[in-house]
Copies of this chain bind each other. A is one copy, B any other.
Amino acid sequence: MSEDNAPEIVLALEIDDPALADRLAKLLGNVAGLRLVAPGEAAAATIVARDPRIMPGEIALTQRELDVLALMAEGASNKMIARQLGISVHTVKFHVGSLLDKLDATGRTDAVAHAARRGVIEL
């Protein structure tokens, strides 16, 4: 009593591997209630290539470092971060230094990029 009134779920397929994409398209094409996206159409969900959750070697960041990192990703300067967190610029630099170290980055831009790549933050 709930299957028939639910609208179709529109799925987009974003797979580089042609073989896998083809098999998925075949399999999903036969499922009632499911439909693959039409060109230009907005999809409810997308099937992407590989599992983004596998990230071996979790980075151990302290809470404060995460705070600083998040603001860095917003493009905030050290001064802005200091104001935002209610701490001194020196302390911000201290945490940024730790982040550069832990994330193996050469600068704040590199740090944000690395963090985003490893799933530590979400852009």
Verify if A77 is at the interface (C-beta below 8 Å from B).
yes
Cβ–Cβ contact B123 & A72, under 8 A: no
Contact size class for A? Answer: 35 or more
Smallest beta-carbon distance A38→chain B, Å:
12
Cβ–Cβ contact A75 & B31, under 8 A: no
Docked pose: A51 CA to B73 CA in angstroms: 23
Cβ–Cβ contact B106 & A75, under 8 A: yes
Of A40-48, A59-67, A83-91, the segment with at least 4 beta carbons within 8 Å of chain B is A40-48
Question: Taking A37-B51, A112-B112 as contacts, is the C-beta distance between A31 and B42 under 8 angstroms?
Answer: no
Partner-B contacts on A (CB < 8 A): 6, 9, 11-12, 14-15, 20, 23-24, 27-28, 30-34, 37, 42-54, 72-75, 77, 105-114, 116-117, 123
Give the 7 A-B CB pairs with smallest separation, nearest first: A75-B110, A43-B51, A109-B109, A75-B106, A117-B123, A12-B51, A116-B123
